[in-house]
Structure 1
Amino acid sequence: MPGAVEYLNFDANFFGNIAVTITPWKFEIGGVETLAFCIDQDTSAVYHVNYGATPVVPSQAIMGLYETNYKYVLNNGVYNADKAAAFQLALWELKDDQSFTNPTGNMVLPLTGGLNPGNDALAADAYAMLADALNYHGLGGSYLYTEYTAAGTQSLMGVSAVPEADTWAMMAVGLGLVGLIGRRKSEKSEKFA
């Protein structure tokens, strides 16, 4: 798993706790590594289980979070642990009540008073990511979403990038050229037969 980030604030509430260790999961499936975030906040993690993968269509808000901020978690393959922690907090809050300041919710995240270095900056990032997600009105399309589930442990969500339109166009041109070359070869073979 990627590096963990610890957040501690006496005025915080993370499903009954004043502190949380935020650690995204990293799977290796068929030789391909996938970064996944917990979407089942109040279930403990069991690390040695077999996960099943199911394609899903997430809510508009969760899609908005990925579309607007996932690029900061993995920027050209470079992992940013602080951005990943803020992303995880925003994702949990989207599944909770979509407000970090609601004292009756399961999750309350103060903007100040974090006791570990960087905690307040992490909270500010989480607030900004939550606002981006809630204000997103696009159609998505940058990612394919997969939910990973196993009995008795957290449910997780991972994404894989959808190829850009120009990538599809180049692939179509390449296939067309292969077909053209194959056709020309078959015509030459018929003349000499």
Structure 2
Amino acid sequence: MNLLKTFAAAALSVAAVSAHAASVEAFQNATVQPAGVRTGNNGINFFNIEGIDYGNFASYGVARFDVASLKSQFDAQYGVNGWVVDSISLSLTQSNASFTANGAVEVFFTNADTTAIVSPSALKYPFAGDFADALWVTAYDFVEVSSGTLETYGLYDRTASNNAGAQALAADILADTLVTLALVEGDSGVAATYAGYNNNTYAGPTLNIAVSAVPEADSWLMVLAGLSVISLSLRRNVR
């Protein structure tokens, strides 16, 4: 049993070598309405997703992140190409209004990092067609609590089965320094109201990324060899 515990601990150590997590707030966000990107302070102080029931105020949200500083941290710790993305999540802070209403929200990834999301911009609600390459990542139910309430939603988990959107998001973080996400109505009556990056009270949309070192091949070989010895020992004990 001591041998089993030793190699089990070694396996866990190799699987989670010096995990490192860091976060970055969006440097741009937009509320995109039928007339275009919302302008003025409210266009950057807040981040709204409103269903078609709201007519001219219907909107989807776009947030853009610069992950260059995070990648520099990871490179400094593990070396260039020496780390893998373990998980990605998105944090949003409620900043509710009189029209805020519960409902479903969907999250999409797009690689269109050069598309302007601040005025002047060609973007207009509805979302369909604005980002031809958009891939669905996840959906969640927005539930109004109170302003200042932090929500966090998982977008990618290396240990889980990920859809094409989640995989593309993780690959994008490895490939370049900008990440663009769009949040879109899942229900016609939803009105999710969040703080934008320029909000004076709360943090704007925040991307959380956890990484770990690329396991060395010889370390894994040692673990596998140890597990083989344990397996053989257990068979002998059974006899």
TM-score (norm 2): 0.26
Structure with higher strand content:
2
TM-score (norm 1): 0.30
Structure with higher helix content:
1
